[in-house]
Amino acid sequence: MHVAVTLQTFRAATRASKFVKYFTTLPEPKEPIIMSATIPGPKSLELKEKLGGVQMAETVQFFVDYECATGNYLCDVDGNVMLDTFMQIGSMPLGYNHPRLVGVFNNARSVKTLVNRPALGYFPGKDWATKLENILKEIAPKSLDNITTMMCGACANENAYKNIFITYMRKKRGEDACFTDEEIESAMRNCPPGAPNLSLLSFEGAFHGRTLGALATTHSKYIHKIDIPSLDWPMAPFPSYKYPLEEYERCNKEEDKTCLAQVEELIEAYCKKEKHVAGIVVEPIQGEGGDKHASPEFFQQLQCICKKNDISLLFDEVQTGGGCTGKFWCHEHFDLPSPPDVVTFSKKLQLGGFFHTSDFRPREPLRIFNTWMGDPAKILLLEQIVTVIKEDKLLKQVEKSGKVLKTGLLQFEKEYPHLVNSARGRGTFLAISFETPELRDTVVGNLRKLGIITSGCGKQSIRFRPALIFRETHANIVLDRLRKVLSEIKK
């Protein structure tokens, strides 16, 4: 018989837990609690059918009771309490219902910020400049002293691309040169010279968003791109490493060299095609493409190629920014000779946007512009998130929890070598691969039956994207249940 969860029953189920922390509004349970025979349960299926009547709902996995969610645990409408290692596609830095975030709008001033949403490009609030200065001071990548706020990761990338093209053409035209009449007229017809034949180089397996320009640099799944007209922009191979890294060091170094050589060849080839490459866009870790990593040396050499060709380097940190790799920005792991030109962000930082130097600021108004240009209410949340990360030393917590989880995944490679391989990652931004896509899907489904939410990535990997408050206790729960799933498959 189905029993729906309520706040009262949830409190009763979690009352015995010793894991009562100030970062949850309700005490966390000791472990996942599964109430329904299947996930999604009957109530989720009923709601999915209802939603399907008004919009496409095929991707919906189950419906959530967010009032009961707490910390690292998500509650669905069928009474299941699950340990969430996916956290809304990696966008929940402090877990569910963190008191510091729940309290953000418990005052009239913050509520007015929420309901009086301004067109920031025209009518920003009196404290907007101060808010952005504080954000720059607290989290901006080194030497990137300008910020452009947007709504999401895709529009952050989309507008960062535009900034790269604008900067490239300004340098080519001359810093003080004006637009010619021919440029102005031809731009309105989508033709050169006003609409120049420029390109951005991206990488095989990359994911940078689903808007039209960002989609031209996205290469992770065909379903994102099919039937959509696109741009003739170059795509280079991204390193595909063999694991364990220490056993394949020489092989992986050769992989770096091969990929970098093709980057240079593509830049030259597109120059000959009169579609000059204005910049390179790259993820520090390819998330959607399968949690593919590259060495610090690869990124250092990639930056050298950009400088040699006088083109921009954009790090897309939409997924990796915010502390999940043990540093606030993943590119900080790479010891780059100088800062990247542009860094885009979203997800854990709540709104979208990009950091850049003043050199990438357009000289004319309305070139990077839309109605909202971000959201002041999200900045209020971000301020608290950054404060909690620092006060609670959550980057150190990420390192400790990640070490436990990664050590366990590496152990599974030894115990079940015919099932799993290639454990990898930084901090809690971790993944492990399976022998087949079908096996991966089976494991994701069976983990969910045991109360663990995770997700696939690439062709046959599982990715872990827990909140920054994920602790060693939670890592061990995940490992215990993953061992149970693997041992049953082995039988």
The catalytically annotated residue of 62, 63, 86, 207 is 207
The catalytically annotated residue of 347, 348, 378, 406 is 347
Instruction: Note if 211 is an active site residue.
Output: no
pLDDT band per the 50, 70, 90 thresholds, residue 27: confident
Tokens standing for 152?
Answer: 């999401």
Q: Which residue has the higher pLDDT, 271 or 9?
A: 271
Instruction: Note if 316 is an active site residue.
Output: yes
Per domain, the residue ranges of the chain are 109-390
Lowest-confidence region among 3-7, 183-187, 245-249, 402-406: 3-7
pLDDT band per the 50, 70, 90 thresholds, residue 17: very low
How far is 40 from 293, CA to CA, in rounded Å? Answer: 33
Q: What is the 3-state secondary structure (H, E, C) of the chain?
A: CCCCCCHHHHHHHHCCCCCCCCCCCCCCCCCCECCCCCCCCHHHHHHHHHHHCCCCCCCCCCCECCCCCEECEEEECCCCEEEECCHHHHCCCCCECCHHHHCCCCCHHHHHHHHCCCCCCCCCCCCHHHHHHHHHHHHCCCCCCEEEEECCHHHHHHHHHHHHHHHHHHHHHCCCCCCCHHHHHHHCCCCCCCCCCEEEEEECCCCCCCCHHHHCCCCCCHHHCCCCCCCCCCEECCCCCCCCHHHCHHHHHHHHHHHHHHHHHHHHHHHHCCCEEEEEEECCEECCCCCEECCHHHHHHHHHHHHHHCCEEEEECCCCCCCCCCCCCHHHHHCCCCCCCEEEECHHHCCEEEEECHHHCCCCCCCCCCCCCCCHHHHHHHHHHHHHHHHCCHHHHHHHHHHHHHHHHHHHHHHCCCCEEEEEEECCEEEEEECCHHHHHHHHHHHHHCCEECEEECCCEEEECCCCCCCHHHHHHHHHHHHHHHHHHHC
The pLDDT value recorded for residue 26 is: 74
Instruction: Note if 347 is an active site residue.
Output: yes
Task: Work out the mean pLDDT of the chain and round it to a whole number.
Answer: 94
The model's pLDDT over 143-171, given as tens digits with 9 standing for 90+, comes to 999 999 999 999 999 999 999 999 999 99
Q: How much is the pTM?
A: 0.94
CATH T-level fold of 109-390: Aspartate Aminotransferase; domain 2 (3.40.640)
Among candidates 269, 275, 271, which has minimal Cα distance to 199?
A: 275
The catalytically annotated residue of 180, 258, 371, 387 is 371
Are 278 and 198 in contact by the 8 Å Cβ rule? The answer is yes
The model's pLDDT over 292-312, given as tens digits with 9 standing for 90+, comes to 999 999 999 999 999 999 999
pLDDT band per the 50, 70, 90 thresholds, residue 490: confident
Q: Which residue has the higher pLDDT, 146 or 491?
A: 146
Instruction: Note if 334 is an active site residue.
Output: no
Task: Give the number of other CB atoms < 10 A from CB of residue 125.
Answer: 14
The catalytically annotated residue of 76, 84, 291, 316 is 316
